[in-house]
Amino acid sequence: MLTRTGWLTAAGAVALLAVGRLLALDEAFVAGATLGVLVLLAAVGVGLRRLHLDVARELHPRRVHAGRSSTIELEVRNRGRRRTPVLTLVDQVSGTRGARLAVAPLEREAVTGASYELPTERRGLLRVGPLEVLVGDPFGLAQARVRVTGVSELTVYPAIDDVAPIPDSSGTDPHAGRDPRHRLSPAGEEFFALREYVVGDDLRHVHWASTARRDRLMVRQDELPWQGRATVFLDLRAGYRPPESIEPAVRAAASLVHAGRRRGQQLRLVTSDGTDSGFAGSHAQVDAIMERLALVTAAATHDLGRAVDRLSRHPGGTLVLLLPADAAPDDRRRLQRLGSRYGRVVPVLFNPSSWDPDAGDGAARGDDGPRVTATAPFPVVWERLTRRPAPVGAP
């Protein structure tokens, strides 16, 4: 309850009392006693003070792309019978020192507001709160903390670039070019496959027989073949590279997902750890992919077995490979073998300079595909790729 100043003052009071007692100095004894009483009165006064406050906190918006604005708005109402002292509001914000705001004294039933911007430079989950009110004495000797609200969460999606949507497949995709007039409705009525439930799926599509058999929620995948279908493979294996090495590829994946949403594509995200979002078309499903991208971290695993198995289960459409330029040749060959199962394969390689400004640019294009570098960022490379047809089946 005592502040640092309060503890120092109390220690000084004890020292003065000891000096006055040992040396028979009345002045020192009186000064020590005065300081001791002051500390005691401050602690008792703060402990007995009762605040009756209504504090509301709103987060606008709750989901935002990195670099965009998100604001906390606070409203404080005095429900007590007396005027409040000067209040200090402290809001914890993960990864920072938090926010600290001073509120002037409020008369009975008076309302005041305050707001502050949240840091959104980096993707991830930002926890805000709990919000506490600090009540102190005029001398800063004692302080009480009163928790008034809980924890709110801000999801910071990866930053996105304005890029063209993933090109539709035009080769071996068995579903490309089928006539949508045979559909009963544009929402899709033909049963295509089963996949695991992801947040945002319509519960009306749950396949209960398969759910009971597999002991996990399974949903029907209704095919919409007249909409573009695209799969984005994101390699999250950091290996000997620092964790931030995956950030350019994560941003590229988010940009492609955002562009595909605007076009109405059926999008799918598969990561190197084997996580598969399934084809997503609704806003809720695409938001679930964005939340996945907001929270992904660099992985220590080296095996692509689960990811290759996932990519092989529901092939078709366009496959975009987001890979580090120094990926093992064996891994590239395994991914190359998937070319015959997709209508189009578009590899994009990320040189070390894409995440490390001190690294050399190297070649902007190699025999294995175009490369993202510091001087050729992903939007530039993607624009070059989408200007002309990509080779079918092989990176």
Pairing of strands 369-372, 365-366: antiparallel
Q: pLDDT value at position 388?
A: 53
Q: For residues 259 and 296, state if they share a domain.
A: yes
The tokens for 75 are 């409203």
Q: pLDDT value at position 393?
A: 43
Q: What is the pTM of this model?
A: 0.75
Contact in structure between 173 and 343 (CB atoms under 8 Å): yes
Sequence-distant (6+) residues with CB within 8 A of 61 are 70
Q: For residues 150 and 296, state if they share a domain.
A: no
Q: For residues 27 and 68, state if they share a domain.
A: no
Domain boundary among 206, 223, 240: 223
Q: Look up the CATH number of the domain holding residue 271.
A: 3.40.50
- Give the chain's residues under pLDDT 50: 171-189, 224-227, 390-395
Q: pLDDT value at position 27?
A: 86
Q: pLDDT value at position 172?
A: 44
- Classify residue 172 by burial, with Cβ atoms within 10 Å: 0-12, 13-18, 19+: middle
Q: For residues 26 and 128, state if they share a domain.
A: no
Q: pLDDT value at position 45?
A: 79
Would you list the DSSP string of 159-207? P----PPPPPP-SS-TTTT--GGGSSSTT--SEEEEEE--TT--GGGB-
Q: Look up the CATH number of the domain holding residue 86.
A: 2.60.40.10
Q: For residues 209 and 244, state if they share a domain.
A: no
* Closest-CA residue to 153 (of 130, 134, 170): 130
- Packing angle, helices 4-23 and 26-48, rounded to 10: 150
pLDDT single digits (tens) 163-196: 999 987 754 444 444 433 333 333 334 555 677 8
Q: For residues 232 and 357, state if they share a domain.
A: yes
Full domain range(s) for residue 232:
225-387
Q: In this structure, is residue 128 part of a structural domain?
A: yes
Q: For residues 286 and 326, state if they share a domain.
A: yes
Q: Total structural domains in the chain?
A: 4
**Number of Cβ atoms within 10 Å of the Cβ of 377:** 15
Q: In this structure, is residue 185 part of a structural domain?
A: no
Q: In this structure, is residue 70 part of a structural domain?
A: yes
Q: For residues 108 and 240, state if they share a domain.
A: no
Q: For residues 254 and 332, state if they share a domain.
A: yes
Q: In this structure, is residue 120 part of a structural domain?
A: yes
* Closest-CA residue to 286 (of 201, 364, 220): 201
Q: In this structure, is residue 171 part of a structural domain?
A: no
**Number of Cβ atoms within 10 Å of the Cβ of 297:** 12
Q: For residues 350 and 255, state if they share a domain.
A: yes
